Each structure stands twice: as structure tokens, then as C-alpha cells.
Amino acid sequence: MLDNLALGFSVATTPANLAFAFLGCLLGTLIGVLPGIGPVATMAMLLPITYSLSPIAALIMLAGIYYGSQYGGSTTAILLNLPGESSSVVTALDGHAMARDGRGGIALAIAAIGSFVAGSFGTLALAAIGPMLAGVAQNFGAPEYFSLMLFGLVCATLLAAGDFLKAIAMVVAGLLMGIVGTDVNSGASRFTFGTVNLSEGIEFVIVALAFFGLAEVIGNLVQQSHRHGTISKVGRLMPNRTELRESAPAIARGTILGSILGLLPGGGAVLSSFASYMFEKRISKNPERFGRGAIEGVAGPESANNAGAQTSFIPLLTLGIPSNAVMALMMGAMMIQGIAPGSAVMTTNSSLFWGMVASMWVGNLMLLIINLPLVGLWVKLLSVPYRVLYPCIVVFCCIGVYSLNSSSFDVYLASALSVCGYLLVRLGCEGAPLILGFILGPLLEENLRRSLLLSQGNPSIFVERPISATFLALILVMLALFLLPSARKQREEAFQE
């Protein structure tokens, strides 16, 4: 592992890759600070730019945006009670209470320290677990990949916020959108409605920009509220020994919990931060302190969301399965570069895999250095009116879509899908299950058909092979547990809390 990390640092520390890591971290912090512009929308907007970059530079920059946004969201959540990122919502509960008491600087420092510790641990977990999972994946065939992808979609559906049936509907919609185009085996056109422009299918970039870029803009314009708030006094930045001693166990617990939840399909930063806050509150001897400035309520969730962000790369890079919408975009970026996500990345392109791993630690160090000194600058960015931001976002999205094929049809299609995306959000449907269904749909179909060809049409191949049968059994267990009234009630209470 040390030799592989040495290879990774030799790749990550080249001037060009350092520059892209810094750019990604800076952009991530920026969009984390600004409410209404999340990492998914930003990464979707930047996907067309990655065509002109080297694979390692593109992935380093996009990864920096993801974990950088976790840092940025905590700054405004603590000082202004305005979470820039959904994973920072729980940080605002105790972080802003600390800021009102004149301890805003301590809350920011604890958030930064916890994030760095968790990010470093997540990077080491990726370096340690990645090769082992990649070795297991070498034994996977078409039936195993089909069952694994089905397991991932079921997990993403069960862990999605909101109504279960709506999450299923969004996954099915994504699967149907994924099979639009020409069938590779038969050459028949499917769901093209006689339009030549759809014969090659719907571009991933178009769907990502429509549902996570343009639809977000429409939603923010309709529901825009005045983002005014009193900036709390930062105060001293360095926590004392007592504060470090109180926060250290929460940082450790949040790091471990976030690292585990980040591995799960449907998990990641948001689920990790909420789970950590609820866990810290339940094990506390004085739970009434939470919401009134408990330092554990900042240390735990901030560590968990960064650990979850780092370890969510493990299923993508080793098994080729995106665990959340951000990882689906990363998978799309890899496919744009001609890289098939999965265990082959580590064997055929080891410099890319280990370069990404090393760049995550470098990026976390950059974030630790640039965030605290620039607190004042990030807070001032909130004074930029949204009416100035949204035309720039719309124009940038349209240029990105048009640049794919120099086709105005793509722009019209993205516009139509963005309206659909906004209406689905108003109906309480999440976009994450749809994008996961869209990107896994063609792969799911390909492995299903390949499996049935191998077995001459006999579906028992999925239960005769041990690994495939294990994933199918896990699906049945999860569905059985979810159907229990107590489990469904706990899920609803967790998301409401």
C-alpha cells in the first residue's frame, strides 16, 4: 500500500494536478457557501469542460468540488444559520448556537479539524479497502454484476428521503430513460418516437444538467427567500484543551460512522451527518444541550459528512457502482473519458486510481489551509443577489449542452427535462434515484441479457452462483425489514428529524 501511495503522490503532486485540486477545492467551498447551488449541480455544469482535460485532472477537480462543498457548507451554517449544503443542516443547530454565544470561531475550527481528520481517515480506508474489494470483483461475472447493481438500486430507493413509492417511480423513470436509443443487439429503435436525434440515446450530461442544474435554478427562483442574516462574531479560532477533549470522541465516532455509511448504496455525506447527530444526541448524558451549543453536535456531523464523502468513492472505483447522485456524475465523467469504472481501473490504470486517492488527502490539506483564513470572504459572497447568479448558471448550462454535439435539439431537450425535473421536485420526488437508475439502467440490461445468454435463457443462473445469490438474498432481507411497520416508522421519523 505504501508503494501504491507513493505512486499516487507522485501523480497528485505534479503542478497541473495540484492546480486542478486547488481549483476543485475552491469551487467546492464556493458552492458550499452559496445556498441553492450544490455539488451535483456544479459538477453537472462542469461535465462538458472535462472533455478537454486529462482523465486524472478531470476526476481530481470533480472530487475536490464534492468534498470541498462539505467544508464550505459549514461556514455559513455556523455563522449565519444558512446551510449552504444539505449535509450542513444539522451543523447549523448547534454551530449557530455556539456562534450566538461568541464561540463561532471555535465551532469553525472544530468543524475544520473534524473534517480533516475524517477526510484523512476516509482516504486511508479507500487505499486499504480498495485493493481488497477490487480483488473480490475479479471473480464477478455478468450474473454477479446484475445482482450487485440491483442491490444498489434497492438500497438507494430504501434510503432515499421521502415517500418510498415515489422513489421507486423515479428509479423506474431513470431506467426507462436509460434504454432510449438503438438496441445494440437487434438494432431496433426504442422510445425514439421517430426522431433521429434520439437514435444514440439521451446524453448523460443533458439529464444531469437538466435535473440538477436548470431544475435547481427554477426551484430557487420560485421559492427564493431573502437570504439576510446577522453575521455572528467569529471570536477566537483556537479551541482550548477542554473543548478538544470534548470533541475528540465525537470526531472519532462520526468518522467511523460516516466511513461505514459512505460505503452503502444511497449513503454518503447527507445520511452520514444526520445519523451522526442523532447518535451523539442519544448517547449523550445531557441530550438537552443539543440545539443549544453542544460542541459534539458540530464535531460529529462534520466528521461524518466528510468521511462519508470520501468512502463513497470506494464502491465506484472498485465495483463500478455509484452509491449516490454525486458518484453517478463521477461515473459519467469517467465514461466520458473512456474509462470503465470498476476493478479494472486499479489494474489497467493504477496511476489514475492511486493519483485520485492521494489527491484527496492533498485536497483536504488545502481546504484546511484556505478555509479558516478566508471566512470573511466566504460570508461576504452571500451578499451576491441570486438574480445575478441564475442568468450566469443558465447560460453556462446551455453552452455546455450545445457544445456536446453542436445541436440545438439537445438544448430544447434539456429545457423540457428541466421543467419535468422541477415538477417532480414539487411533487416530492427526489432526482437522485432517477439519475442512479439512468446510469445503471443500460449496464443492468447488458448484464441481464449476457447472463441469460450464458444460461440459454435459464434465470436460475442468478441463484446458482453464490455471490449473485448472496446479493439477491440481501435484497429480500432488506425489503422484508422495510415492510415491517416499526422499520418504516423509524425511517419516517429519521427523515423528519
Question: What does the alpha-carbon distance between residue 41 and residue 329 come to, in Å, rounded to a whole number?
Answer: 10
CB atoms within 10 A of CB 183: 12
Q: What angle do CA 237, 238, 241 make, to 5 degrees?
A: 145
Give the model's pLDDT for residue 226. Answer: 45
Burial readout 219-244 (b: 16 or more C-beta within 10 A, e: otherwise):
bbeeeeeebeeeebebeeeebeeebb
The domain segmentation of the chain, as residue ranges, is: 2-496
Question: What does the alpha-carbon distance between residue 106 and residue 249 come to, in Å, rounded to a whole number?
Answer: 17
**Count of all residues that appear for the chain in the document:** 497
Amino acid at 103: R
For residue 228, give the C-alpha cell: 439576510
Question: What does the alpha-carbon distance between residue 299 and residue 91 come to, in Å, rounded to a whole number?
Answer: 8
Dihedral pair phi/psi, residue 202, rounded to 5°: -90, 130
**Alpha-carbon torsion, ordered 429, 43, 210, 423, to 10 deg:** 20
The per-residue pLDDT string of the chain (497 residues; one tens digit each, 9 = 90 and over) reads 778 788 888 888 899 999 998 988 888 888 777 665 667 777 777 777 777 788 888 888 888 888 787 777 777 777 777 666 666 777 888 888 888 887 778 888 888 888 888 888 888 888 888 777 777 777 788 888 888 888 878 877 776 666 778 888 888 888 888 888 888 777 788 888 878 888 888 887 788 778 877 887 787 777 655 444 455 556 666 778 888 888 889 899 989 988 888 777 666 667 788 788 888 888 888 888 888 888 888 888 888 888 888 888 888 887 777 877 778 888 888 887 778 777 777 777 788 888 888 888 888 888 877 776 776 666 666 666 667 777 877 887 788 788 777 888 888 988 898 888 888 888 888 777 888 888 888 888 888 888 988 888 888 888 888 888 988 998 888 888 777 665 555 555 554 55
Give the model's pLDDT for residue 479. Answer: 81
Give the model's pLDDT for residue 85. Answer: 63
For residue 287, give the C-alpha cell: 441530550
DSSP 181: E
The cell 445531557 sits on which residue?
286
The cell 480506508 sits on which residue?
125
- Strand partners of residue 343: none
- Which ranges in 2-88 belong to alpha helices (H)? 2-12, 15-33, 39-46, 55-80
CB neighbour list of residue 390: distance below 8 Å, 6 or more residues apart? 217, 220, 221
Burial readout 14-37 (b: 16 or more C-beta within 10 A, e: otherwise):
eeebbebbbbbbbbbbbbbbbbbb
Helix (H, G, I), strand (E, B) or coil at 441: helix
DSSP 292: T
For residue 67, give the C-alpha cell: 468534498
Distances 140 to 230, 264, 320, 344 between C-alpha atoms, Å: 55, 19, 12, 12
Give the model's pLDDT for residue 66. Answer: 82
For residue 323, give the C-alpha cell: 452509491
Question: What does the alpha-carbon distance between residue 436 and residue 218 come to, in Å, rounded to a whole number?
Answer: 22
Question: What does the alpha-carbon distance between residue 360 and residue 21 come to, in Å, rounded to a whole number?
Answer: 8
Using an 8 Å Cβ cutoff, are 258 and 303 in contact? yes
Helix (H, G, I), strand (E, B) or coil at 356: helix
Using an 8 Å Cβ cutoff, are 199 and 181 in contact? yes
CB atoms within 10 A of CB 247: 28
Q: What angle do CA 58, 150, 466 make, to 5 degrees?
A: 110
The cell 448484464 sits on which residue?
447
Q: CA end-to-end span of the chain, whole Å?
A: 41
Give the model's pLDDT for residue 19. Answer: 92
pTM of the model: 0.73
CA 363, 367, 370, 374 torsion-angle sign: positive
Question: What does the alpha-carbon distance between residue 266 and residue 323 come to, in Å, rounded to a whole number?
Answer: 5
Distances 461 to 146, 191, 464, 472 between C-alpha atoms, Å: 11, 30, 5, 12
Q: How many CA atoms lie within 13 A of 47 on its CB side?
A: 32
Amino acid at 326: V
